[in-house]
Amino acid sequence: MSHLSTEDRLRRLLFLVGECVRRRNEADSEASLCAAICEALTETGGYALACVGTPSIEGFQLFACSCGVDVAEPPSWEHTARLRHPMTTLELFGEPYDFGVLRIVAASAAGFEADEQAVLERIADDLSGSIAILRANAAHRQMESQLRQLSRALESSSNGVMITSSTQLNHPIVYVNPAFERITGYSAAEVTGQSGHFLVRDDLNQKGLTEIRAALRGQREGHAILRNYRKDGQLFWNELNIAPVRDEGGGITTHFVSIIDDVSERIAYEQQLEYHATHDVLTGLANRSLLNDRIAQAIARARQDQKMVGVLLLDLDRFKLINDGFGHLPADNLLRTVAERLAGCVRDTDTVARLGGDEFVVVVTDIDDADGVSIVGAKILRALAQPLSVAEKELFVTASIGIAMYPRDGDHGESLLRNADVAMYRVKEHGRNNYRFYAPEMSQMALDRLDMEGNLRRAIERDELQVYYQPILSLASGRVVGAEALLRWNHPRIGMIQPSEFIPLAEETGLIIELGDLVLHTVCRQIRAWQEAGLPAPRVAINISARQFRQEDLVEHVRHILDETGVAGSALEFELTESMVMHDIENTLLTLRDLKSLGAALSLDDFGTGYSSLSYLKRFPIDTLKIDRSFVRDIDHDADDAAIAHAVIAMAHSLGLDVIAEGVETEAQLEQLRGYDCDRFQGYLFSRPVPAGEFTLLLQTGKSIPAKGERP
Ligand code: C2E
Ligand code: MG
Ligand code: MG
């Protein structure tokens, strides 16, 4: 411009500034703005070239460019510096980074006047300022659109959202969405400005609250399931997630966003499932599984606090009569009433459970002595003594209660329940409607005569009876040549019950017939199984009771079972006792002959404890004599017993009978028996009675003792 007069130059500069301002105001983007300013500079300012360069990896790159007449557009930023005339390059400052540079090439070699240079610098500054404004506007628009999206999402979310300010004390609510209003019943207007605490009301004893408080304090994310309350007071389960919102620098937490998920239905479902798994459906009391947990917990606590736990097992007396007489529904109602009364007799911290049927258990915790439990026992009896109405009739129920105490009577649930059961049976035996503490002697006589029949019947139905086998060995060969079938009762609570405890009672009640049948069947099937497995099935001795022996069709019955199972009679041996055969000699003889005709062997059990009349025995078709355990026991150190055993064996042999010694427990006894030429023996020395599976193993391995004359 220096070729112009000062006046013209100033006028042109003025025009240029005006044009720049006009064009800047029209521009709506960085590109159009830069292009417009460059054009104003060449068209109005008359410069040879004006261009904007923006920073790039290799310096600058051409962003906008305008050329005067006769000037060709440069292909790149580098080329803009190659024009002949002087040029000025002005910085376009910006925050946080500079935008670039504005380069202007003079129209002539004279270059730029000082005032002209000053105006161009102002134009560059104005351009920087305008770019900054455009950029800010764009950022703002973007943020606004994001916010709009976000708020649409919040409004339509099915989860409640609550935003609280964390820069103020008390964390006041600044925003809640419609779902929050729907879930809680509170409107946005009601809660804005308040602290979010009102949702938990005074239900402050919640584990989840601790977690949420810690997250708020630590300004971190948090998650918990809380009991919250709606405006109408109704409880709902809130699966709450909270997250801090930090300021732009990422340092200070300004807000917390809480996402509220109403999971009441899910929790209700879970609680229902858990309830069913742990409670008795009929009465709502704890069931066996929960009871076991509770007893375990009670014991753990009592161990720590040096206290006692009382386990009361309660069985209603003659409930069966009510059930049979009135039907199930009234009986169920009665059980419910009993459950309520029981629950009313103990503290909340104690447990009342129903094991099924008419059996209940009460666990009394935190007590110092048995007296505390006596009080509960008496209280229960009193509570039950109140008349009950069943099917519109007044009824009196009583109960028998057995009590076992931790630590005295056991240190785990199973043993305590078992012993309480033993004590309970004792109560039944002694007139019912009472309670009793367990005493170790009771275990000997666990079952009550009166309940025996029902119990045994159930045992047969429930497969609680098992046949064990005790091997019988030949002294000559040292091998297993037979087995004695011995009955066991595996009672679910009492455990293994020995035959001496139930055989005599079964005999009295007549149930022995059924038991005998069961043994006969089981044994025959077992023999068959051994035979089919190719094992050397031994002859199995079966004990016959007096009542069974007098059964009219005993022999027919045995024959039938043999046919049914396909086992030969010779696979069996029947054990009888002297007292059985000494009655009604004629009939006895007939039965014995019939049994023999099946091919079975006959032996006389427990010899030495009855008449022990050998001469009499001559008349019976007996094959074997079993010397009772009581003679064998002292055979190695009691001269009398030894003499008797020796004589019995010798006389038996002279009558053509084999001899089995029972109850051989020591090597010394066995040695003595060898000396007397005893034929066979059984006893703990070689094996106790074992379940069929174990006996099968014994057959498979061919376990034996040294044969006669052989040294071990
Ligand atoms: P038992 O017929 O005299 O049976 C022998 C008893 O002596 C068995 O007792 C057996 O376990 C035991 N015993 C065997 N070896 C030894 C030993 O070395 N030492 C000691 N101390 N004992 C030994 P368990 O099994 O208790 O049977 C007792 C009785 O019950 C039997 O006496 C038998 O009279 C009767 N019994 C068992 N099972 C049946 C059955 O199925 N039917 C009938 N009617 N009575 C049975
Ligand atoms: Mg026997
Ligand atoms: Mg015996």
Cis peptide bond prior to 96, omega within 30° of 0: yes
User: What is the Å distance from ligand 3's center to 574 Cα?
Assistant: 12
What tokens appear for 561 in the block?
């079972």
How far apart CA 160 and CA 154 sit, in angstroms, is: 9
Average pLDDT taken over every residue of the chain: 90
Cβ neighbours of 39 (radius 10 Å): 19
User: What is the Å distance from ligand 2's center to 709 Cα?
Assistant: 29
How far apart CA 704 and CA 481 sit, in angstroms, is: 10
- Statement: residue 448 has pLDDT above 60: no
Residues 490 and 539 in one domain: yes
In angstroms, how far is CA 624 from the centroid of its own chain? 57
Residue 69: phi, psi to the nearest 5? -60, 145
Residues 507 and 389 in one domain: no
- Residue that is written with structure tokens 């005998």 in the block: 516
Question: What is the residue type of 125?
Answer: D
Cβ neighbours of 436 (radius 10 Å): 21
Cβ neighbours of 701 (radius 10 Å): 8
- The answer to the question of residue 711 being in a domain is no
Whether residue 436 contacts residue 426, with contact meaning beta carbons closer than 8 Å, is answered with yes
Beta bridge partners of 315: 359, 400
Q: End of a domain among 223, 241, 268? A: 268
Cβ neighbours of 84 (radius 10 Å): 10
Over residues 272-286, the pLDDT tens digits come to 888 888 999 999 999
pLDDT score recorded for residue 378: 92
Residues 296 and 407 in one domain: yes
- Residue that is written with structure tokens 């087995």 in the block: 483
What tokens appear for 559 in the block?
């024959």
Which residues, 6 or more positions from 43, have their beta carbon under 8 angstroms from its beta carbon?
A: 19, 66
- CB half-sphere exposure, 690, CA atoms < 13 A: 16
- The answer to the question of residue 706 being in a domain is no
How far apart CA 641 and CA 630 sit, in angstroms, is: 9
- The answer to the question of residue 414 being in a domain is yes
Nearest to 339 by CA among 329, 351, 349: 351
List b or e across 600-628, with b for residues whose CB sees 16 or more CB atoms inside 10 angstroms: bbbbbbbbbebeeebeebeebebebbbbb
Residues 527 and 548 in one domain: yes
Nearest to 394 by CA among 323, 482, 315, 334: 334
Whether residue 627 contacts residue 608, with contact meaning beta carbons closer than 8 Å, is answered with yes
Nearest to 623 by CA among 712, 532, 539: 539
Q: Whose CA is nearest to atom 17 of ligand 1?
A: 663
Most confident of 36-40, 643-647, 654-658: 36-40
Domain with 645 in it: what CATH number? Answer: 3.20.20.450
Task: State percent of the chain over pLDDT 70.
Answer: 96
Q: Whose CA is nearest to atom 46 of ligand 1?
A: 543
Whether residue 263 contacts residue 238, with contact meaning beta carbons closer than 8 Å, is answered with yes
Kind plus residue range of the DSSP H or E element containing 675: helix 667-675
Which residues, 6 or more positions from 560, have their beta carbon under 8 angstroms from its beta carbon?
A: none
How far apart CA 328 and CA 330 sit, in angstroms, is: 6
- The answer to the question of residue 581 being in a domain is yes
pLDDT score recorded for residue 518: 94
Over residues 391-403, the pLDDT tens digits come to 787 888 889 999 9
More confident residue, 60 or 494: 60
Question: What is the residue type of 513?
Answer: I
Q: End of a domain among 438, 454, 484? A: 438
Q: Whose CA is nearest to atom 44 of ligand 1?
A: 545
Q: From the CA of 626, give the closest atom in ligand 1.
A: 3
Query: Which ligand gives the minimal distance to the CA of 669?
Result: 1
User: What is the Å distance from ligand 1's center to 464 Cα?
Assistant: 18
- Give the residue-averaged pLDDT of 623-628: 94
- The answer to the question of residue 261 being in a domain is yes
Domain count, the chain: 4
Domain with 383 in it: what CATH number? Answer: 3.30.70.270
What tokens appear for 263 in the block?
């999971």
- Give the residue-averaged pLDDT of 590-615: 86
- Residue that is written with structure tokens 């440069």 in the block: 74
- Statement: residue 495 has pLDDT above 80: no
Over residues 498-508, the pLDDT tens digits come to 787 788 878 87
Query: Which ligand gives the minimal distance to the CA of 514?
Result: 1
CA dihedral for 22, 23, 29, 34, sign (positive or negative): negative
User: What is the Å distance from ligand 3's center to 609 Cα?
Assistant: 10
Q: From the CA of 507, give the closest atom in ligand 1.
A: 44
Query: Which ligand gives the minimal distance to the CA of 606?
Result: 3
Which residues line the pocket of ligand 1, CB cutoff 6 A?
470, 485-487, 498-500, 503, 516, 519, 543, 545, 575, 605-606, 629, 662-665, 682-684, 689
User: What is the Å distance from ligand 3's center to 642 Cα?
Assistant: 18
Q: From the CA of 548, give the closest atom in ligand 1.
A: 44
More confident residue, 428 or 676: 676
Q: Exposed (0-12), middle (13-18) or buried (19+): which is 512, by Cβ within 10 Å? A: buried
User: What is the Å distance from ligand 2's center to 484 Cα?
Assistant: 7
Q: Residue 697 in 3-state DSSP?
A: helix
Q: What is the DSSP letter of 557?
A: H
- The answer to the question of residue 453 being in a domain is no
Residues 686 and 580 in one domain: yes
| Best residue for ligand 1 mutational test, from 460, 486, 496 (most atoms within 8 Å of Cβ) | 486
User: What is the Å distance from ligand 1's center to 502 Cα?
Assistant: 12
pLDDT score recorded for residue 610: 66
- The answer to the question of residue 273 being in a domain is no
User: What is the Å distance from ligand 1's center to 417 Cα?
Assistant: 28
Which residues, 6 or more positions from 202, have their beta carbon under 8 angstroms from its beta carbon?
A: none
- The answer to the question of residue 354 being in a domain is yes
Residues 521 and 621 in one domain: yes
- Residue that is written with structure tokens 């389960």 in the block: 237
In angstroms, how far is CA 564 from the centroid of its own chain? 46
User: What is the Å distance from ligand 1's center to 638 Cα?
Assistant: 24
How far apart CA 712 and CA 709 sit, in angstroms, is: 10
Domain with 121 in it: what CATH number? Answer: 3.30.450.40
Over residues 554-599, the pLDDT tens digits come to 999 999 999 999 999 999 999 998 878 877 788 889 999 999 999 9
User: What is the Å distance from ligand 2's center to 523 Cα?
Assistant: 14
Residue 606: phi, psi to the nearest 5? 50, 35
User: What is the Å distance from ligand 2's center to 216 Cα?
Assistant: 79
Task: State percent of the chain over pLDDT 90.
Answer: 62
Residue 231: phi, psi to the nearest 5? -60, -35
Q: Whose CA is nearest to atom 35 of ligand 1?
A: 499
- Give the residue-averaged pLDDT of 637-659: 89
Whether residue 601 contacts residue 624, with contact meaning beta carbons closer than 8 Å, is answered with yes
How far apart CA 605 and CA 550 sit, in angstroms, is: 17
Q: Whose CA is nearest to atom 34 of ligand 1?
A: 543
Q: From the CA of 468, give the closest atom in ligand 1.
A: 25
Q: Whose CA is nearest to atom 45 of ligand 1?
A: 543
- Residue that is written with structure tokens 């310096």 in the block: 59
Q: Residue 708 in 3-state DSSP?
A: coil
Residues 321 and 262 in one domain: no
Beta bridge partners of 55: 60
Residues 579 and 665 in one domain: yes
- Statement: residue 248 has pLDDT above 80: no
- Residue that is written with structure tokens 């007139």 in the block: 431
Q: Residue 629 in 3-state DSSP?
A: helix
Label the pairing between strands 658-661 and 680-681: parallel
pLDDT score recorded for residue 222: 94
Over residues 408-442, the pLDDT tens digits come to 999 999 899 999 998 998 788 666 788 999 987 66
Q: Would you list the DSSP string of 47-92?
A: -SEEEEEEEETTEEEEEEEEE-TT-PPPSSTGGGGGSSS-EEEEEE
Nearest to 239 by CA among 255, 213, 268, 262: 262
Over residues 214-226, the pLDDT tens digits come to 999 999 999 999 9
Residues 106 and 195 in one domain: no
pLDDT score recorded for residue 712: 59
Domain with 208 in it: what CATH number? Answer: 3.30.450.20
Cβ neighbours of 301 (radius 10 Å): 14
- Give the residue-averaged pLDDT of 669-675: 95
Query: Which ligand gives the minimal distance to the CA of 628?
Result: 3
Q: Whose CA is nearest to atom 3 of ligand 1?
A: 606
Beta bridge partners of 576: 604
Nearest to 130 by CA among 153, 99, 103: 99
Nearest to 470 by CA among 685, 694, 688: 688
- Statement: residue 453 has pLDDT above 80: no
Whether residue 413 contacts residue 471, with contact meaning beta carbons closer than 8 Å, is answered with no
Q: From the CA of 487, give the closest atom in ligand 1.
A: 38
Question: What is the residue type of 371?
Answer: D
Could you list the residue range(s) of the whole structural domain that residue 70 is in?
Answer: 6-138
Q: Would you list the DSSP string of 134-163?
A: HHHHHHHHHHHHHHHHHHHHHHH-SSEEEE
What tokens appear for 624 in the block?
């074997």
Residue 702: left (phi > 0), alpha (psi -120 to 50), or beta? Answer: left
User: What is the Å distance from ligand 3's center to 362 Cα?
Assistant: 43
- Statement: residue 367 has pLDDT above 80: yes
- Statement: residue 485 has pLDDT above 80: yes
Q: From the CA of 467, give the closest atom in ligand 1.
A: 41
Residues 197 and 303 in one domain: no
Residues 294 and 235 in one domain: no
pLDDT score recorded for residue 444: 56
- Statement: residue 496 has pLDDT above 90: no
Q: From the CA of 689, give the closest atom in ligand 1.
A: 11
Query: Which ligand gives the minimal distance to the CA of 549?
Result: 1
Query: Which ligand gives the minimal distance to the CA of 632?
Result: 1
Beta bridge partners of 88: 104
User: What is the Å distance from ligand 1's center to 486 Cα?
Assistant: 6
Over residues 157-174, the pLDDT tens digits come to 889 999 999 888 788 999
Query: Which ligand gives the minimal distance to the CA of 682?
Result: 1
Q: Whose CA is nearest to atom 30 of ligand 1?
A: 499
Query: Which ligand gives the minimal distance to the CA of 626?
Result: 3
pLDDT score recorded for residue 493: 64
Most confident of 328-342, 449-463, 581-595: 328-342
- Give the residue-averaged pLDDT of 287-316: 94
Q: Whose CA is nearest to atom 25 of ligand 1?
A: 486
Question: Distances in Å between the alpha carbon of 705 and those of 61, 665, 691, 700?
Answer: 107, 14, 21, 15
Q: Whose CA is nearest to atom 27 of ligand 1?
A: 499
Q: End of a domain among 268, 301, 323? A: 268
What tokens appear for 112 in the block?
């730029």
User: What is the Å distance from ligand 1's center to 665 Cα?
Assistant: 14
Residues 263 and 333 in one domain: no
How far apart CA 247 and CA 220 sit, in angstroms, is: 14
| Best residue for ligand 1 mutational test, from 467, 543, 686 (most atoms within 8 Å of Cβ) | 543
- Statement: residue 533 has pLDDT above 60: yes
How far apart CA 471 and CA 697 sit, in angstroms, is: 12
